[in-house]
Structure 1
Amino acid sequence: MPSSLGNLLQLQHLQLHFNNFNGTIPSSLFALPYLTDLDLHSNNLIGNISEFQHGLLSYLDLSNNNLHGSIPSSIFELQYLDVVILASNSKLTGEISSSICKWKYLRVLDLSNNSLSGSTPLCLGNFSNSLSVLHLGMNNLQGTIPSTFSKDNSLQYLNLGGNQLEGKISPSIINCTMLQVLDLGNNKIEDTFPYFLEALSELQILILKSNKLQGFVNGPTAYDYAFSKLRIFDISRNNFSGSLPTGYLNSLEAMMASDHNMIYMGLTNYTGYVYSMQMTWKGVEIDFEKIRSTIRVLDLSDNSFTGEIPQVIEKLKALQQLNLSHNSLTGHIQSSLGNLTNLESLDLSSNSLTGRIPTQLGGLKFLGTLNLSHNQLEGPIPSGVQFSTFNATSFEGNLRLCGFQVLKECYLYGDHEQSLPPSSYNEGDESTLFGDGFGWKVVAMGYGCGFVLGVAMGYIVFRTKKPAWFHRMIEDIWKLNRRKIRKKVGRSN
């Protein structure tokens, strides 16, 4: 970056991003007396962040660079700061100073995707009523989640995911009445399902995945239309048990209708900041720098849910991704899942599902990822256009499935196709081969006795060297056959 920029003493706004500037940031840049906006995000800047020598700065964005070291202490003396974004530098270290509480006018604080450590300052829940974004995700923070969120706060986006936070989720979070995004995933939180979150009527994204949460998810408990605006609901990789939360599924109104006005989700009162998050998409962990308003995800995988897949899921017609894998679900795959016409990814693997794969799933035109492996499914794999694109890994572990995907021919039996021909013997099913009257043990005994008797008679015959009774029997049979041949010849003449 040209060092001459530091000579522009009257400069108030400096925006240089996506220019691939290399090298360090000139220290003189932090000493410009009238500078209020400094935006150098998405370059290749390296080195430490210099100490600030003036107090008028209100906007600071140094994200998506290669800066390292700790956050300079002088930054906490900038009392007019409105936006601070230092995200995605990876090598920013040290602790978050409690001096952060001096920022009274802050609206956006994003320190995500770095290597910050230590505990979260106790004041983070209530130090500024104007704070709308608090993103500290994907660091190495320890301790507990802030336990006191003040009333009448303006928080819309709270992301503490991807740290090592412990303890419980504080009920005071319901004071964040404007909250749209809550991400506490990938931590060490030990708690039950936080039913009090039902009170957050504006909540659109709820991620509690990869923690130590346990117990039932019955709900709703107090609000008939709990989570009605949820677009993304991810409680995977915990230890929830019982049946799937039918009550909540029945109130997910935002997943029942598609959003045709595609925008990127962001602050309602500030257009310069869009939401970002880390999410499992089609089996891959992806960092979403922008989140489309059209996205709809329901992920309840890797828990201990039991029972059948509820029929109510057919109402969630806007769903793009449904993951119920790695549970203990039983029963059949509902044919009504074929009504989820926007579905792009379906994962029901590693359960105890039985029966056939519904042919209705073959009509899902957007289905690009399918995993039905390791269940107890049987019969032919549907012949829909989408199903022809899936390979054996989508169906492995289902020994009674047939189709070209699993290299097993289907046989027609009556009006149905099955993986084995009618004459095939299935281990453990004796009646298939022998009927209801005989078992394999009885038949085996008969064969054994006959074999022993035959060997014994053969031995006698050859030891006695053509006994008379045996010789006469052979001669009588030979003479009888000759008489029959002569009669046939006489008739023909």
Structure 2
Amino acid sequence: MMGSVLLLSQILCLLFFHSHFQPSLSSSNFSSPVLLCPADQSLALLQFKNSFPMIASSIECYQKTVLWREGTDCCSWDGVTCSMKTGHVIGLDLGCSMLHGTLHSNSTLFFLHHLQKLDLSFNDFNGSVISSSFGQLLHLTHLDLSASNFAGQVPPEISHLSRLASLDLSYNYHLMLEPISFNNLAQNLTQLRELNLNTVDMSLVAPSSFMNLSSSLTSLQLRYCGLQGDSCNVFRSLQSLGLRSNGELTGSFPPYNLSNALSYVDLSLTRISIHLEPDSISHLKSVEMMFLDWCNFAGSNLGLLGNLTQLRELGLASNQLGGQIPFSLGKLKQLEYLDLSGNSFQGHLPFSLGNLKQLSHLLLSGNKFTGQILNQFSNLTQLIELDLSDNRFDGQISSSLGSLEKLDVLKLSSNDFTGKIPNSLFNLTQLTSLDLSNNKFYGQISSSPGNLTQLTSLDLSNNKFYGQISSSPGNLTQLTSLDLSHNKFDGQISSSLGSLEKLDSLELSFNHFSGKIPNSLTIPSQISRLSQLNYLDLSHNLLSGTIPSSLFSMPSLRFLSLHNNHFSGCISPFLSNSLQYIDFSHNKLYGQIPPSVFEHGNLRALMLSSNDKLTGNISSVICKLKFLEILDLSNNSFSGFIPQCLGNFSDNLSVLNLGVNNFQGTIPSVCSEGNNLRYLNFNGNKLKG
């Protein structure tokens, strides 16, 4: 008896193995000791590989063809799948494979007539036209050419691929699909289940054409396609529909013919009208993700959305929604993403939001919410992003926010919050972005922010913080942006800022920083070590001494503003090639402008007004500054003649202010055709003409 049971179990195992084993092999399954790949197909693959140059891999992609070698079984090559029965190449996955160059119509790729699945996505075919030869691959069921820099017309031969179940031509930004080609595609591809044409220009295709698409279609993605007209024929028996950013697409949602199977819908940035009624909402019971941003949705019966209990993501940003948030939204227990930003919601936040315990992203910015933040969010322990900016919240921040340990982004800017920052906020060690700007916070900044070692952006601007900056910011080594402007900080600028090697933008303007340079290190020498720094604004402080020459040699610095301080000394003759914007106005600089400044070809703005003791002539070399947009040398002691070329040398020049100096001679002509001047001032000189 035991023997027969064992025999029966062995037979059942063999039957199970035979019925479930896929009849193909690839590098992801196993390698056969027998060369299964036919020689002509192996040669075709090698010739295809050799038609593209070998380039270095990136972080995201790698060259799958790099190990393809003559004399080895191509069925074992990376990205190649072969039939186990015949050995024919039936699958080729070269997505993100660093292919760069033209894909010609005579490519040996098109010799692989047995291909069923072909993925060439995320390569760069250099604006190649999609070859009509793709129409020869009649066994294809899956074709993915997305994001590979194809251009021109989609060839009508694509419609010959009658076995296609999935077609993706998306994110080829110069690709066009004519009405006749789309009609052929819709009529012939009767087995199509997934169609993605995002960003393909379909502006001439009438939405009525969509009624011809296969009834088996479950996913239709047509974002950024330039579609126009009534969308009623688009909605069919779909599970997933993306129509975002077709600004002239009209119609009504939900339509009468909507499939009950719809689980994903994105109608953002269209002119489709949203009408929620008890009858129509019943068709949306399966929807898990719904995005209706920028749809002019006025929001009648918004509370009905509380019946869509399968919703995981809901976007209603930038509509015309008002009143209070319906209490019924608290019934959406599966919700992970909720965006109500850019509307006119008002009143206090309902405590029913606390029921949304799966919520990871809550975006409520740009509304008219009022009241205090109490413990509405204390249950939302999965929150990764919380944005309450640009509302009318007031009072102190609840310390309960400090319990949201997974928070990555916290934005509370542009409200009326007051008081000190609660210490519990500095326990959010996962934060990468913290924005408390444009409020009424006050007090000194303790060493606690130094705990937030993952921060990449910190904005405390436009508050009432005071005191000295401690050394704690030096712990924030991931920071790329730091804005402490428009407060009342004083004392010396902490030299610890020099350890923020990833800093791209440093904004300390409109404070009370003081001291001399270099002995007091008020602009610490460490700052000039910030090789990534692009933007530095120390204006409107009490800084003094000479401007350290090291600032002018920072390799990435484009914007440097030191205006309204007490700097003295001469302007350095050495400028980094990266510098484009220089503002030293309202200081105590003296001497002449070094000729090298006028030869700095990348300069777009030079503002030296109100230094009083800047002297000398303006060299005609200044007319080499072809990109100059702003030149302000007013309220100084410059003399001599104004170069006549100054009025016409740059089509970009919008501000020219030489007022209140000692210039003499003739005013240069500034009335040439194409002149872009918006402000012109020569007053207070000895000029004529």
Same fold (TM over 0.5): yes
Bigger drift between 351-360 and 399-408 goes to 399-408
CA distance in 1: counterparts of 2:450 and 2:316, whole angstroms: 36
Identify the match of residue 247 of structure 1 among 504, 514, 525. 525
Question: Is 1:406 matched up with 2:658?
Answer: yes
Question: Is 1:229 matched up with 2:502?
Answer: yes
Given residue 92 of structure 1, which amino acid in structure 2 is its aligned partner? F
Question: Is 1:368 matched up with 2:604?
Answer: yes
Secondary structure, aligned partner of 1:167: strand
Identify the match of residue 83 of structure 1 among 353, 361, 376. 361
Identify the match of residue 341 of structure 2 among 58, 63, 72. 63
CA distance in 1: counterparts of 2:557 and 2:588, whole angstroms: 23
Aligned to 2:554: 316
Q: How big is each residue's C-alpha offset from its partner over 1:295-345, in whole Å with a ceiling of 9 and x where there is no partner?
A: x210011110000010111221211211000000000111113x2x23332
CA distance in 1: counterparts of 2:322 and 2:600, whole angstroms: 48
Matching of residues 119-138 of structure 1 within 5 Å:
119-124=396-401, 126-138=402-414
Identify the match of residue 197 of structure 1 among 473, 478, 488. 473
Secondary structure, aligned partner of 1:117: strand
Question: Does the aligned pair in 1 maintain the 2:346–2:370 contact within 8 Å?
Answer: yes
Q: How big is each residue's C-alpha offset from its partner over 1:99-135, in whole Å with a ceiling of 9 and x where there is no partner?
A: 32221111000111122111111133x3122110011
- Structure-2 change in CA distance of 1:366 and 1:80 (3 Å): same
Q: How big is each residue's C-alpha offset from its partner over 1:256-314, in whole Å with a ceiling of 9 and x where there is no partner?
A: xxxxxxxxxxxxxxxxxxxxxxxxxxxxxxxxxxxxxxxx2100111100000101112
- Structure-2 change in CA distance of 1:353 and 1:76 (3 Å): same
CA distance in 1: counterparts of 2:605 and 2:631, whole angstroms: 11
Q: CA deviation at 1:382?
A: 4.0
Structure having the larger proportion of residues in helix = 1
Given residue 371 of structure 2, which amino acid in structure 1 is its aligned partner? G
- Structure-2 change in CA distance of 1:100 and 1:23 (3 Å): closer
Question: Does the aligned pair in 2 maintain the 1:249–1:312 contact within 8 Å?
Answer: no
Structure having the larger proportion of residues in strand = 2
Question: Does the aligned pair in 1 maintain the 2:603–2:628 contact within 8 Å?
Answer: no
Q: CA deviation at 1:399?
A: 3.1
Matching of residues 371-450 of structure 1 within 5 Å:
371-375=607-611, 376-383=613-620, 384-385=622-623, 394-404=632-642, 406=658, 409=663
Aligned to 1:172: 448
Question: Does the aligned pair in 1 maintain the 2:350–2:376 contact within 8 Å?
Answer: no
Q: CA deviation at 1:79?
A: 1.3
Q: Which has the larger radius of gyration?
A: 1
Bigger drift between 174-183 and 397-406 goes to 397-406
Given residue 62 of structure 1, which amino acid in structure 2 is its aligned partner? L
Question: Does the aligned pair in 2 maintain the 1:342–1:364 contact within 8 Å?
Answer: no
Aligned to 2:201: none
- Structure-2 change in CA distance of 1:329 and 1:386 (3 Å): farther
Question: Does the aligned pair in 2 maintain the 1:246–1:312 contact within 8 Å?
Answer: no
Question: Is 1:6 matched up with 2:274?
Answer: no
Question: Does the aligned pair in 2 maintain the 1:11–1:34 contact within 8 Å?
Answer: yes
Q: CA deviation at 1:46?
A: 3.2
Matching of residues 192-341 of structure 1 within 5 Å:
192-220=468-496, 226-243=499-516, 244-255=522-533, 296-337=534-575, 339=576, 341=577
CA distance in 2: counterparts of 1:152 and 1:21, whole angstroms: 36
CA distance in 1: counterparts of 2:354 and 2:523, whole angstroms: 45
Question: Does the aligned pair in 2 maintain the 1:58–1:81 contact within 8 Å?
Answer: yes
Aligned to 1:74: 352
Q: How many residues align?
A: 365
Secondary structure, aligned partner of 1:6: helix
Aligned to 2:422: 146
- Structure-2 change in CA distance of 1:206 and 1:382 (3 Å): farther
Question: Is 1:28 matched up with 2:266?
Answer: no
Identify the match of residue 462 of structure 2 among 170, 179, 186. 186
Bigger drift between 110-119 and 320-329 goes to 110-119
- Structure-2 change in CA distance of 1:111 and 1:391 (3 Å): closer
Q: CA deviation at 1:25?
A: 6.3
Secondary structure, aligned partner of 2:466: coil
Question: Does the aligned pair in 1 maintain the 2:605–2:629 contact within 8 Å?
Answer: no
- Structure-2 change in CA distance of 1:305 and 1:108 (3 Å): same
Secondary structure, aligned partner of 1:142: strand
Given residue 400 of structure 1, which amino acid in structure 2 is its aligned partner? F
Secondary structure, aligned partner of 2:326: coil
CA distance in 2: counterparts of 1:84 and 1:56, whole angstroms: 14
Percent identical: 31
Secondary structure, aligned partner of 1:364: coil
Aligned to 2:155: none
Identify the match of residue 391 of structure 2 among 114, 118, 125. 114
Question: Does the aligned pair in 1 maintain the 2:599–2:625 contact within 8 Å?
Answer: no
- Structure-2 change in CA distance of 1:392 and 1:132 (3 Å): closer
CA distance in 2: counterparts of 1:310 and 1:25, whole angstroms: 64
Q: CA deviation at 1:370?
A: 2.6
Given residue 75 of structure 1, which amino acid in structure 2 is its aligned partner? L
- Structure-2 change in CA distance of 1:347 and 1:88 (3 Å): same
Question: Is 1:50 matched up with 2:326?
Answer: yes
- Structure-2 change in CA distance of 1:58 and 1:25 (3 Å): farther
Identify the match of residue 345 of structure 1 among 581, 589, 600. 581
Q: TM-score, normalised by structure 2?
A: 0.50
Q: TM-score, normalised by structure 1?
A: 0.69
RMSD: 2.5
- Structure-2 change in CA distance of 1:342 and 1:389 (3 Å): closer
Q: CA deviation at 1:71?
A: 1.9
Q: CA deviation at 1:409?
A: 4.0
- Structure-2 change in CA distance of 1:209 and 1:32 (3 Å): same
CA distance in 2: counterparts of 1:386 and 1:188, whole angstroms: 45
Bigger drift between 153-162 and 1-10 goes to 1-10
Q: CA deviation at 1:187?
A: 0.2
- Structure-2 change in CA distance of 1:390 and 1:131 (3 Å): closer
Bigger drift between 8-17 and 377-386 goes to 377-386
Secondary structure, aligned partner of 2:467: coil
Name stretches of at least 5 consecutive residues in structure 2 with no aligned partner.
1-273, 517-521, 643-656, 666-685
- Structure-2 change in CA distance of 1:355 and 1:24 (3 Å): farther
CA distance in 2: counterparts of 1:48 and 1:410, whole angstroms: 67
Larger RCO, structure (CA 8 Å, separation 6 or more): 1
Q: CA deviation at 1:42?
A: 2.8
Bigger drift between 346-355 and 382-391 goes to 382-391
Identify the match of residue 381 of structure 2 among 97, 100, 104. 104
Given residue 109 of structure 1, which amino acid in structure 2 is its aligned partner? L
CA distance in 2: counterparts of 1:137 and 1:170, whole angstroms: 20
Aligned to 1:457: none
Name stretches of at least 5 consecutive residues in structure 1 with no aligned partner.
256-295, 412-423, 425-493
Secondary structure, aligned partner of 1:377: strand
Q: CA deviation at 1:2?
A: 1.0
CA distance in 1: counterparts of 2:399 and 2:493, whole angstroms: 30
Q: CA deviation at 1:369?
A: 2.8
CA distance in 2: counterparts of 1:30 and 1:402, whole angstroms: 76
Question: Does the aligned pair in 2 maintain the 1:228–1:253 contact within 8 Å?
Answer: yes
